[in-house]
Amino acid sequence: WDFDIESNAGNNFYPFMIAKLRSNFASDPDNRYLITGAPQCPIPEPNMNEIITRAQFDYLWVQFYNNPGCSVDGTINFADWKKNVAGTPSADAKIFIGVP
């Protein structure tokens, strides 16, 4: 399951939840757990930017569709997303471009 947040209400609580999940995951060294998100393409992302920049994600499946300027030939691209997460807990997240 991905964090695919479609509203920015309550975003200040998600980083705490993700930190708790990571703490719980650490108590199970026999398994590998990942935190993944599916943000929309615009930067700043209107619903998840606060979460992505305050919590550690392992994978981001950026939705490069259904938003103005967001497509494989749009104005927002992969490099913009790498810059957006640089210097945040999600700086090492693997970023994937989601297209229909």
Q: Which residues are catalytic?
A: 6
**In the numeric block, which tokens belong to residue 61?**
């499946």
Beta-bridged to residue 22, according to DSSP, are none
Categorise residue 27: left if φ over 0, alpha if ψ from -120 to 50, beta otherwise: alpha
Quote the CA–CA distance of 7 and 26 in Å, as a whole number.
Answer: 29
